[in-house]
Structure 1
Amino acid sequence: MTIARNAHRVAVLALDHVVGLDLGTPSQVLGAARDTRGDRRYAVDVCTPTGGPVRSAARFQVMPDHGLELTRSADTVVVPGIHDGAPLTDGTLDPAVGEALRAAHGRGARVVSICTGSFVLAAAGLLDDRPAATHWAHADAFRTLYPKVRLDPDVLFIDDGEILTSAGVAAGIDLCLHIIRRDHGAGVANSAARRCVVPPWREGGQAQYTERPVPEVGASGTAPTREWALARLGEPLTLRAMAGHARMSVRTFTRRFREETGASPSRWLLQQRVDRARLLLETTDLGVDQVTRQSGFGTAAALRQQFQLSIGVPPTAYRRTFRGHA
């Protein structure tokens, strides 16, 4: 597959004990973002501290094509999670790696971590006084080693501008899709998600799935009701109506919904409406009033309020930004 001439350059920095899934996620997900000609929008390469092989946590070797010099020209540097090593055990880091990460950040490159890759960024001093995410199971160790970081172990990912961090395992996929959405809009991100056969969006502030009982699978689940609601976002949808469709009491429906999605029905519904509005603003010429109706906000004032809260800009400014990308 051809890489676009103006592709965004991504360096994935693999350290010893790198987590295999985290290592492959940027290449797989970012590599699924294509332009109108089908060319890749991201050029993703792997590097290691010495340019030589490193051992993965799954007991296979990673043979890179580059050393730390790759971080000097990358637009984004991604640090996958690790299952062992000094950043996890004593809060220290290879000085050359720390310097490379600080230099990349200093010249304006975006710096990203997946899972326990946040320990590496913290050891490099990049997360001091910043909010950050990591795998929930490592939260206590993280707080002990890096007390200056404002850790939030209950979210899937955190976008703090030029530094982004995610929780464990599949949250790295969510973060990469968020990066695509931020860079190129919902249409490209949704297309990349379809290529990867994953949900196109899980809100960054959604809770991690930590020690929750697994809901029973069957007709009593809320998935059919979520599908039913997505087809009716432009209509008034109450909690009672959704519970009625699921043939549950409101209390039971709310509990099961949270077990299955990690969010309350009202919060989930609001996020779906924001996402629908974003997609319409990016991909159609519909006026704000029409976008308001089709996404189910009721009034343009409500749409503007939620955009300001969720995204930080009003709908018209959002449209100008992403039409500019197009």
Structure 2
Amino acid sequence: MPSVAFVVFDGFHAMSLAAQPVFSFANQKFGESFYEVLTLSEHGAPVRPIGGPTVMTEPFEERTFDTVLFTGGDPGAARPSHGLLAYARHSAATARRVAAICTGAFVLAEAGLLDGKRATTHWVYASALRKHFPRIRVEEDRIYAVDGSIWTSAGMTAGIDLALALVEADLGVDVARSVAQTLVVSHRRAGGQSQHSALLELDAKSDRIQSALTYARKNLAQPLLVEQLAEVARLSPRQFSRAFRAETGQSPAKAVERLRLEAARLMLERSRHTVEQIAQQTGFSDPRRMRDAFTRAFGQPPQAIRRNARWAAPG
């Protein structure tokens, strides 16, 4: 029986354990107790989380598990204990899979398990993860990331998406879909899906830059060159580019691509338009350019995004 161990510590976020029922319901859907689910801590004592009641735990000891998931807490509160880091390294050497939910990635990073690997975490903490652990290839705009036997997820609810993906890898898409529907997860998000909306992130401060963004959102099928957007903002192209970057933190070209990506992704998930039609309507011109942009941004081609959306649909 594959054993799934959730590792907690004083001050972890209780929401990290929201992924546990995924494995319990998978047992029901599979028709037998496929998974054994445990909660561990360094000393096996009751552990008090943030935002929930005290949790009873079992000690680390020397037992090995099939899958070990490290929960998240406030990465600025305290560094992981020596025992927690040692157990993370032990798990990487003995478990089939090691995962981190939200800021649990900082535990794996401190243990040296993410060096040279792709990983994600909550977007609020992504820059801190990149700064303190520069050898990690931080992909902050992903729901979850998989690199070999190491899995990491974004914010707390993304741990449910990660757990569903683990179940799908073990028991197949039908069991995972049934679990998602039982948990009323209306849209099991793909790992490459954006954590947050580009339309919200690109909220400019000045009316001029905001008018250019509004124009871009309404005219994605057009080329949307810097000169065109600068004219809408009533600035020279050089002034516009400088002001745009200062207000949004991105170049106009990068921002336009993100707007195109989000619009295209929504059309893939919600419409019956062909990939060719979506590419034309969102300004990518041809499916190849859109596929390349999707692969860079989401780690998946458009067809995979569409398949995942249909996978998650009720029935």
- The AA in structure 2 aligned to 1:60 is P
How many matched pairs? 235
User: Which residue of 63, 66, 75 maps to 1:75?
Assistant: 66
Q: What secondary structure sits across from 1:93 in the alignment? A: coil
CA distance in 1, matches of 2:308, 2:54: 43
Matched, 1:272 2:272: no
Shift in Å at residue 137 of structure 1? 0.2
Worse-matched range after superposition: 120-129 or 199-208: 199-208
% identical equivalent positions: 33
Residue of structure 2 equivalent to 1:148: 135
Bigger radius of gyration, 1 or 2? Answer: 2
CA distance in 1, matches of 2:29, 2:156: 30
Deviations 1:252-285 (A, max 9, x none): 9xxxxxxxxxx99x965553247879xxxxxxxx
- The AA in structure 2 aligned to 1:155 is R
- The AA in structure 2 aligned to 1:188 is V
Within-5 A mapping of 1:38-117: 38-58=31-51, 60-64=53-57, 66-69=58-61, 72-84=63-75, 88=76, 92-117=79-104
Residue of structure 2 equivalent to 1:185: 172
Within-5 A mapping of 1:1-326: 6=1, 8-25=2-19, 27-34=20-27, 38-58=31-51, 60-64=53-57, 66-69=58-61, 72-84=63-75, 88=76, 92-199=79-186, 201-209=188-196, 212-213=199-200, 226=269, 229=272, 237=274, 240=277, 250=281, 270-273=304-307
CA 1:267/1:73 → structure 2, altered by over 3 Å: closer, same or farther?
Answer: closer
- The AA in structure 2 aligned to 1:42 is Y
- The AA in structure 1 aligned to 2:63 is R
CA distance in 2, matches of 1:56, 1:81: 10
Q: What secondary structure sits across from 2:200 in the alignment? A: coil
* TM-score, normalised via structure 1 length: 0.63
Q: RMSD in angstroms over aligned alpha carbons? A: 3.3
Shift in Å at residue 136 of structure 1? 0.4
Deviations 1:286-323 (A, max 9, x none): xxxxxxxxxxxxxxxxxxxxxxxxxxxxxxxxxxxxxx
Q: What secondary structure sits across from 1:32 in the alignment? A: helix
Contact 2:7 2:69 in 1 (8 A): yes
Shift in Å at residue 227 of structure 1? 5.5
Q: What secondary structure sits across from 1:213 in the alignment? A: helix
CA distance in 1, matches of 2:143, 2:268: 24
Contact 1:136 1:208 in 2 (8 A): yes
Shift in Å at residue 187 of structure 1? 1.0
CA distance in 2, matches of 1:127, 1:209: 23
Determine which structure has the larger helix proportion and give its number. Answer: 2
Identify unmatched segments of 5+ residues in structure 2: 202-262, 284-296
CA distance in 2, matches of 1:36, 1:17: 33
Shift in Å at residue 199 of structure 1? 3.5
- The AA in structure 1 aligned to 2:306 is Q
Shift in Å at residue 40 of structure 1? 3.5
Contact 1:93 1:124 in 2 (8 A): no
CA 1:89/1:142 → structure 2, altered by over 3 Å: closer, same or farther?
Answer: farther
Contact 2:67 2:95 in 1 (8 A): no
* TM-score, normalised via structure 2 length: 0.65
CA distance in 1, matches of 2:191, 2:92: 22
CA 1:20/1:274 → structure 2, altered by over 3 Å: closer, same or farther?
Answer: closer
CA 1:224/1:17 → structure 2, altered by over 3 Å: closer, same or farther?
Answer: same
Q: What secondary structure sits across from 1:47 in the alignment? A: strand
Deviations 1:93-142 (A, max 9, x none): 21111111111211243110000000011111111111110000011221
Shift in Å at residue 29 of structure 1? 1.2
